[in-house]
Amino acid sequence: MLINCVAYHDGNKLADIPVADISDYLAKPGCFVWVALRDASDDELTVMQDEFDLHDLAVEDALHGQQRPKIEEYDKSVFAVLHLVEYSPTDELRLGEVHVFAGPNFVLSVRNRSTKGFLGVRERCEREPELLSQGSGFVLYALMDAVVDRYFPLVEALEDELETIEGQIFDRGAARANIQRLYELKHKVTTLRHAVAPLLDSIGKLYGGRVPPLCAASTEYFRDVADHLARLQTAIDTMRDTIGVAIQVNLSMVTIEESEVTKRLAAWAGIFAVATFFVGVWGMNFEHMPELKSPWGYPTALALIAGTCGLMYWRFRRVGWL
């Protein structure tokens, strides 16, 4: 689905143009074309490949999807794969992708499986024609910056969720539920890490060493994106470590709770064992048992059993077993 197709000259918008006119504007000096697609079909990508002379391998990646975040250079163009991570209505992290093709005089973005668009990015760029005049390199930066900025609220939400779970770690009976929540949180953090870490490893191509020509005027902006990614990576690694520690603490709490149950059962078993011992002794069929003929034998036996059991109960309570 075509979202928009716009031609620019020296950072200023010329017009919204039909796809059939892209070649005409690409031939004009100082012009570049910015096209945005959403959930593009094979036919749409084929048309764009013909218009912009896109590399076959890059188009193949865009067609198949499910790519690892990366930045690759093909001749005079750059191909970037970015992950779009957002919450679904069921409070789960949903993973989408945006594939960006950037050449000397064009930018093509293809967004898949995501509900959030980039119209705000285009408006921001159009408000700054002096920066937009840098061409497709600045547009590539603006799209990457928008994607990376969307990671920060996710990190904050995950940190808040982790703090909530940490506050319940020592609540009695909550250990097992906390472990389940921690594993779900770990899965979310891992999903976000898979979006951030590979991109951090790749973005150095755009500001250090031999930089692609179309990005040469925007290296400081790509360095800023790399700084944001480094901050995100640090926060994610910290959360992963904290989640690991929290899981171990919760497993320890489960062990402690099970140990307490075992001690209670052992204490009650000891109490009933004493009562069983006394009853067993007086239940033996011996002929000469003096207390059998005593009028106080029965209440004395009951009192002895109750007193002994009570004494054991008091001792177990004192040492914390009951």
pLDDT at 318: 77
pLDDT at 228: 95
288 pLDDT tier (thresholds 50, 70, 90)? low
Lowest model confidence (mean pLDDT) among 79-93, 128-142, 279-293: 279-293
Lowest model confidence (mean pLDDT) among 63-77, 92-106, 273-287, 304-318: 273-287
From first CA to last CA, the distance across the chain in angstroms is: 69
289 pLDDT tier (thresholds 50, 70, 90)? low
**pLDDT tens digits, 40-99:** 888 999 999 999 989 999 999 888 878 899 999 988 899 999 999 988 878 788 889 999
Phi, psi of 10, rounded to the nearest 5 degrees? 55, 40
More confident residue, 241 or 208: 241
Lowest model confidence (mean pLDDT) among 73-82, 296-305, 308-317: 296-305
Residue 3 tokens, joined:
């979202």
Sort 44 into a burial class: Cβ within 10 Å, 0-12 / 13-18 / 19+. middle
Q: Does the structure show a pLDDT above 80 at 128?
A: yes
pLDDT more than 70, % of the chain: 93
166 pLDDT tier (thresholds 50, 70, 90)? confident
Residue 104 tokens, joined:
């000397």
54 forms beta bridges with none
More confident residue, 295 or 197: 197
Handedness of CA 12, 17, 23, 28 (dihedral sign): negative
pLDDT at 208: 82
176: Cα separation from own chain's centroid: 21
Q: Does the structure show a pLDDT above 70 at 290?
A: no
Q: Does the structure show a pLDDT above 90 at 195?
A: yes
pLDDT at 285: 64
The model carries a pTM of 0.79
Q: How far apart are CA 320 and CA 322, in angstroms?
A: 6
pLDDT at 286: 59
The mean predicted confidence, pLDDT, of the chain is: 86
pLDDT at 35: 93
**pLDDT tens digits, 227-267:** 999 999 999 999 999 998 888 888 877 777 777 777 777 77
Report all structural domains of the chain as residue ranges with CATH numbers, in order of start: 1-132 (3.30.460.20), 255-318 (1.20.58.340)
Q: Does the structure show a pLDDT above 90 at 271?
A: no
